[in-house]
Amino acid sequence: MFACRSWPILLIVAVLLATRGNAADPEMPTSWPNWMGPQRNGVSTEKDWSSNWPAAGLPVVWSREIGIGFSSISLAQGRLLSMGHVDGKEIVWCLDAQTGDVIWNHDYPCELNDNLHEGGPGSTPTIDEDRVYTVGKEGQLICLDFANGTVIWEVSLQKDLGVPLPEWGFAGSPVIVGNQLLLEAGRVVSYDKHTGKKNWQSAMHQAGYGSAAIFPGEPEPSFVATLDCEGLRITRLNNGDDVAFQPWPSPFRTNSTTPIVEGNQIFISTAYNVGCGLFEFDGQQLKKIYANREMRNHFNNSILWNGYLYGFDGNSNLGRVVQLTCMEFATGKVAWQQRGLGCGSLMMADGKLLILSEKGTLVLANATAQGFEELATSPFLTGRCWTVPVLFDKHVYGRNAAGKLVCVDLAP
């Protein structure tokens, strides 16, 4: 009797354990739910994903056109979320991650805003429990039902915050902390994630294009760091009070990266020959550790790993001089630089860099301060590629500016 009753349960457990990406596997993340992943640091916990890159290139599992834009990719529960612009509308896509089939989509009117680039949405969807949160180019903050794409609530950031449309449109991705949804959007603002009701907002400033970064805290976080086009701000998480400010202007009003918080230190970086800085926050004020021009991130963030930053130094409009750079976090000293990848992007897993060059080549390299160590390359995309790829469940997902979204298999 015992064996007979237990058999269906054992069979179900065996199937679940064999399923890719299941939480039972400690080396496989269960989701990549938002910009820069579950820890918001661009580092995946996935293991044993990089050993089999065929000489002829990685096999394409599926591809789909999702519209113009630079929105990256979020994944959870077998679904993929991204955004694109098609014929005067922005579209939030929910796709089957295994097949690329459309599960649902939601669209709304929106200008392309193609000022000196292709335009389209630049924010990445945020998946939290049974909801999806997105930000459109014109400030359409929308909460959608993850199951079917039904709108639960929406807010116009321009109207609600009383802020103008930024030159390049709104691009920060929603950050969820407890019941709060946080944004840098010409004000640092907190909304109730369930209702869309505003909790608090900061004074108005010149909007940046990155996302909020959260300081670790016990028993819960207390501060949020944001980089706008005036400088680095530290804001109290529970009420929006300004705590500290470090001027960090950009000559072209394009501070577009997300601060990197490590303990009580914050790293920021800006292109156009501004450079980078490391600051220490004591709970009341910011103290500069260093500032230099060795890491000038234009669009995409550097990744911090084992005491070193890996990122692209240089501007997209000066592509031939952009260099992938490895820099010591504590000192700002450059360990090595590598040309030839353009103004690319990268993430990291299992001590390896997964790099997407500006022209669409996927590159695998060791994350080491000893020098650039390329391990493999594969054709992946064509056209302009400024959007960071995502490794998940032994697949790599990426898109180009024109809107081609591709999934390749790392374990064929």
Task: Output the pLDDT for position 403.
Answer: 98
Task: Output the pLDDT for position 25.
Answer: 55
CATH number at residue 334: 2.130.10.10
Task: Output the pLDDT for position 27.
Answer: 63
Residue 121 maps to a domain: yes
Residue 272 maps to a domain: yes
Residue 19 maps to a domain: no
Cβ partners under 8 Å of residue 144, min gap 6: 92, 106, 131, 132, 133, 134, 150, 151, 152
Residue 294 maps to a domain: yes
Task: Output the pLDDT for position 51.
Answer: 77
Q: Which helix (H) or strand (E) holds 11?
A: helix 2-18
Residue 25 maps to a domain: no
- Boundaries of domain holding 157: 30-409
Q: What is the DSSP letter of 321?
A: G
Query: What predicted TM-score, i.e. pTM, was given to this entire model?
Result: 0.92
Is the backbone of residue 179 left (phi > 0), alpha (psi -120 to 50) or beta? alpha
Task: Output the pLDDT for position 13.
Answer: 35
Nearest 5°: the CA angle 114, 166, 287 is: 125
Task: Output the pLDDT for position 299.
Answer: 87
Domain count, the chain: 1
Task: Output the pLDDT for position 321.
Answer: 85
Residue 14 maps to a domain: no
Residue 21 maps to a domain: no
Residue 2 maps to a domain: no
Token pair belonging to 324: 């992938």
List of the chain residues with pLDDT < 50: 1-24
Task: Output the pLDDT for position 408.
Answer: 97
